[in-house]
């Protein structure tokens, strides 16, 4: 399967990706509507979200460039201090941009 990346190709790709994302989100909600929600399920969901986050961030921390590593460190530290995700993410993005722009480290 090949889709052109000029003309309407990118728009088709974006629409298909949006539909797949929407289907998985709605499908997850629909499936979970059949599961009785108790403390055990709640603990599983909370543990799973942390596991997925670590699976995404660990390779970046180990093999990413200095900008990515400094962004992760900054985000973690700001999150520990302020406990506000949006502020921490903003600081992480700014640090990554600065490190990459000025080739720091």
Are the CB atoms for 66 and 37 separated by under 8 Å?
A: no
Does a structural domain hold residue 60?
yes
Q: What is the CA radius of gyration of the chain?
A: 19
Shared domain check, 84 and 56: yes
For the cut 90, the answer to whether the pLDDT of residue 53 exceeds it is no
Shared domain check, 21 and 55: no
For the cut 70, the answer to whether the pLDDT of residue 1 exceeds it is no
Question: Which domain does 88 fall in, by range?
Answer: 45-104
For the cut 70, the answer to whether the pLDDT of residue 105 exceeds it is no
| pTM for this entry | 0.59
* Phi-psi map region of 37: left, alpha, beta (phi>0 left; psi -120 to 50 alpha): beta
Q: pLDDT for 82-93, tens place per residue? A: 999 999 999 999
Provide the mean pLDDT of the chain.
Answer: 90
- The residue among 55, 69, 67, 53 whose CA lies nearest residue 99 is 67
Does a structural domain hold residue 40?
no
Q: What are the tokens at 83?
A: 């406990």
């Amino acid at each position: 399967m090949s889709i052109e990346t000029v003309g309407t190709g990118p728009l088709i790709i974006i629409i298909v990706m949006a539909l797949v994302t929407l289907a998985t989100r709605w499908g997850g909600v629909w499936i979970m509507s059949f599961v009785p929600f108790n403390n055990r399920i709640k603990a599983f969901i909370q543990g799973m979200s942390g596991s997925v986050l670590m699976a995404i961030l660990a390779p970046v921390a180990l093999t990413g460039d200095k900008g990515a590593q400094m962004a992760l460190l900054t985000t973690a530290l700001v999150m520990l201090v302020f406990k506000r995700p949006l502020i921490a993410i903003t600081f992480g993005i700014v640090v990554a941009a600065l490190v990459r722009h000025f080739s720091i480290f």
